[in-house]
Amino acid sequence: MADSTFDIVSKVDKMEAENAVNQARKEVDQRYDFKGVGASVEWSGEKILLKASSEERVKAVLDVVQSKFIKRGISLKALDSGEPYASGKEFRLEIALKNGIDQEHAKKINKLIRDEAPKSVKSQIQGDELRVSSKSRDDLQETIRLLKAADLDLDLQFVNFR
């Protein structure tokens, strides 16, 4: 019998992210507490740029953006937000979206699978994702449960379960 496999990936749906940013922009434009503070949310290349007149206001804009991402089903682990910084008379904050599993996290996940998953489970790094295989589908499901319970600072999805 052939091995069963699945892939571990960390991807953000670009359209859902765009929808979340658009919803956040609309809310920031309409809310009374953001009037007159120059608050804005916009795409800047691959990053989301938040602007406001003070550090507290830009953090409030960040809260709005995060709530919209949660409502759209995107984990906050997929957001990599920096610290607010002054730029002229305004404060800015950049948010990057994490796509793919970097080598450091891939090795950590690989080690976790080797140490704690059932012995029949094998994993290998393939670029920015991991392929996990085993003869037993039950062992693979146990591995998925293990990884969901693990405290990793990545938003993991499990795809191509065969």
Task: Give the tens place of pLDDT for each residue, 84-127.
Answer: 989 888 999 999 998 888 888 889 999 998 898 888 889 888 88
Residues 135, 80 within the same domain = no
pTM of the full predicted structure? 0.82
Residues 44, 88 within the same domain = yes
Among candidate residues 70, 69, 29, 26, the one with its CA nearest the CA of residue 52: 29
pLDDT digits (tens, 9 = 90+) for 5-41: 888 898 888 899 999 999 999 999 998 988 888 889 9
Tally of structural domains, the chain: 2
Give the CATH number, domain containing residue 154.
Answer: 3.30.70.860
Quote the CA–CA distance of 159 and 8 in Å, as a whole number: 7
pLDDT at 1 (0 to 100): 54
pLDDT at 2 (0 to 100): 66
pLDDT at 152 (0 to 100): 82
Residues 18, 90 within the same domain = yes
* Chosen domain end from 48, 64, 97: 97
